Structure 1
Amino acid sequence: MATDNAAAGGLPPVIAVVGPTGSGKSDLAVALAERLDGEVVNADSMQFYRGMDIGTAKMTLQERRGVPHHLLDILDVRQEASVSAFQQQARAAVADIHARGRRAILAGGSGLYVRAVLDEIEFPGTDPELRRRLERELDTDGMPALRERLRGVDPVSAERLGDARRIVRALEVYELTGRAFSSFMPERRYFQPAVQIGLEVDREVLKERLAVRVHRMVASGLLEEVRALDAHGLREGRTASRALGYAQFLKVLDGRWSSEEAAADTIAATRKFARRQLTWFRADPRIGWFGWQDPQLVPKVLEHIANA
């Protein structure tokens, strides 16, 4: 349900296509855009990066079939993705699309980025020097020590967060604002009218599909793509260097892994990521779910949008 203010403004709903990686979000978004005179706004944080094409399954110009796409290829691999910056850019893109009488279709599996566009959500600032200090403390004291420190000021985040980078971020937010990181997570309340479409997957079929996709990426030149990006500073990028496939194939360049080992680890990591995505999106009761391989998927989704 939209907020009262948004509804009063008569804005058309933002259409969001969400779901796990490999479920066909990009294809559905293009199909909807073709039928609704729409334009696609990317919400996959790894597709922000120029040159990260094969490993992110970024659509080619031919696959986009003339549908305008926004917020693809907006960052250099050395730059860090920022959800707060994305919120501003994506909302501006949506407003521009709607101002021209077209439909904005948000597509991507980065759950927090999707919520940043759709929901009333506030993002605390950052302090690079404070972040560096906390990262040095992480290196010297270890993640368990930082988690215990976080537990003293924000037990909810200490329990919920599973990786060192986010624990550092939670401590940074507390030191900057005096507020628990968990206090910034919003209620599920739309910033403006929206309708969310989720792609329901058969998990066993998806597991096999993801394996096939990674092998196809390798055959299409993923290692060569990583090599070219490495020459342009990939390792300096805090976000890009950790991307699925890229982190693994950097180890191939270093002689630490074979391509087969990197592919196997990428498949395992991608399957784990898909499970996390499903857990995230399943928690949102506002999403309408549709079978990803339903031959009537597009007409069913169009009917759902018309009735929303």
Structure 2
Amino acid sequence: MPGSERVVAVVGPTASGKSSLAVRIAQRLGSAEVVNADSMQLYRGMDIGTAKPTAAERAIVPHHLFDVLDVTETASVAEFQQLARDAIADCHARDVTPVLVGGSALYVRAVLDRLEFPGTDPAVRARWAGELERRGKSAMHAELARRDPAAAAQIHPSNDRRIVRALEVIELTGEPFTATMPGYDSIYPHLTILGLDVPRDVLDVRLAERVEQMWADGFVDEVRALLPQGLEDGLTASRALGYQQILAHLHGQMTEDEAREATITGTRKFARRQDRLFRKDPRIHWLPYAADDLVDQALDAMGRARLGG
């Protein structure tokens, strides 16, 4: 099958090895390029804390949609959808296979599936944002649970932006927020989604080791260097895991050790939620993360998908 007809996606929780596998698949295919689907890796300067592919990895095969936003800009899934689909279309026009890689089920599905985003009303959103400011995240998450239990189950209680957005959509459309999510039906007919399966106890260790390595690589200094660039003014960037905790440390609200431990705990919870959401997608071919023949298994799954097996 020519690259102009194929899309490959590599998904899974944080620290499962997605970026490395995507590069290895692209190398084996020969004519393939990586397309980022991680919302935080869109930001310039957020390198260590988002575990971006290394410069060496990005030199092996072309990578798209890294370092495209300033930290003061807000990442919009609707805008990202267009950027990623444009990148995929560009790959196809050049007979290149795009390999989409990311850990956010929403961002991945926004690219691959028939997901349309309801409009917005600044006045309605401002009113719900004011309610959140007045009542707090927990109360507003409870309000969302009352109006749309399925949406509340998918949105973390600390994710105030998505809580406000969900309440806004419910009010504007008169329908549950989850009604805007499509079935598992891709706009790309020749799609293979590969998931990396990591046992939970192993993943917990890998996540802790990753955070420790981030600290050793200068994560705190990275956050400090982003302050003059407006990190704290960025509604999305400033709330990224690790960055939020280090900002609290720099403001004297917790010790550095507390910030590091809070990052490990938060990342573990986030990874479990990532895995839970991806497990709902029946299209994903799950592969053992540590298999010696991982790339061969990935290519075999791609071949079976092509044949409809």
Say yes or no: TM over 0.5: yes
TM-aligned CA distance change 1:275 to 1:149, over 3 Å: closer
Structure 1 segment 108-257 matched on structure 2, within 5 A = 108-143=102-137, 145-147=139-141, 149-150=143-144, 153-158=147-152, 160-163=154-157, 164-193=160-189, 194-257=191-254
Paired with 1:272 and 1:153, the residues of 2 have a C-alpha distance of: 25
Residues 1:17 and 2:10 are matched in the alignment: yes
2:194 partner letter: I
Paired with 1:281 and 1:149, the residues of 2 have a C-alpha distance of: 26
Quote how far apart the aligned CAs of 1:202 are: 2.0
Contact 1:11/1:192 (<8 A) preserved: no
SS in 2 for 1:290: strand
SS in 2 for 1:95: helix
Paired with 1:279 and 1:263, the residues of 2 have a C-alpha distance of: 24
Q: Deviations over 1:61-105 (max 9, x none)?
A: 212243111111111111111111111111111011011011000
Paired with 2:185 and 2:143, the residues of 1 have a C-alpha distance of: 32
Root mean square deviation of aligned Cα: 1.8
Residue 64 of structure 2: aligned partner: 70
Q: State the identity %.
A: 56
SS in 2 for 1:304: helix
TM-aligned CA distance change 1:295 to 1:79, over 3 Å: same
TM-aligned CA distance change 1:162 to 1:205, over 3 Å: closer
Query: Which segments of 5 or more consecutive residues in structure 2 lack a partner in the other structure?
Result: none
Residues 1:279 and 2:298 are matched in the alignment: no
Quote how far apart the aligned CAs of 1:138 are: 1.2
2:295 partner letter: V
TM-aligned CA distance change 1:144 to 1:216, over 3 Å: closer
Residues 1:54 and 2:51 are matched in the alignment: no
1:166 partner letter: R
Residues 1:27 and 2:20 are matched in the alignment: yes
Q: Single out whichever of 159-168 and 201-210 deviates more from structure 2.
A: 159-168
User: Aligned pair count?
Assistant: 299
Quote how far apart the aligned CAs of 1:166 are: 2.3
2:261 partner letter: A
TM-aligned CA distance change 1:132 to 1:256, over 3 Å: same
1:176 partner letter: L
Paired with 1:211 and 1:150, the residues of 2 have a C-alpha distance of: 32
TM-aligned CA distance change 1:159 to 1:300, over 3 Å: closer
Quote how far apart the aligned CAs of 1:180 are: 2.5
TM-aligned CA distance change 1:208 to 1:154, over 3 Å: closer
Quote how far apart the aligned CAs of 1:148 are: 5.7
Paired with 2:172 and 2:122, the residues of 1 have a C-alpha distance of: 11
Paired with 1:149 and 1:99, the residues of 2 have a C-alpha distance of: 46
SS in 1 for 2:276: helix
Contact 1:39/1:104 (<8 A) preserved: yes
TM-aligned CA distance change 1:214 to 1:147, over 3 Å: closer
TM-aligned CA distance change 1:159 to 1:72, over 3 Å: closer
Quote how far apart the aligned CAs of 1:239 are: 0.9
Query: Which segments of 5 or more consecutive residues in structure 1 lack a partner in the other structure?
Result: 1-9
Quote how far apart the aligned CAs of 1:269 are: 0.6
Paired with 2:214 and 2:143, the residues of 1 have a C-alpha distance of: 41
Quote how far apart the aligned CAs of 1:293 are: 0.6
TM-aligned CA distance change 1:260 to 1:153, over 3 Å: closer
Residue 6 of structure 1: aligned partner: none
Q: Give the TM-score, by structure 2 length.
A: 0.91
TM-aligned CA distance change 1:158 to 1:44, over 3 Å: closer
Q: Deviations over 1:150-176 (max 9, x none)?
A: 456545434554423322111111233
Contact 2:246/2:259 (<8 A) preserved: yes
Q: Deviations over 1:205-263 (max 9, x none)?
A: 21111111111111111111101112211111111111011000001111222211111
Paired with 1:297 and 1:288, the residues of 2 have a C-alpha distance of: 12
Q: Give the TM-score, by structure 1 length.
A: 0.92
Contact 2:4/2:94 (<8 A) preserved: no
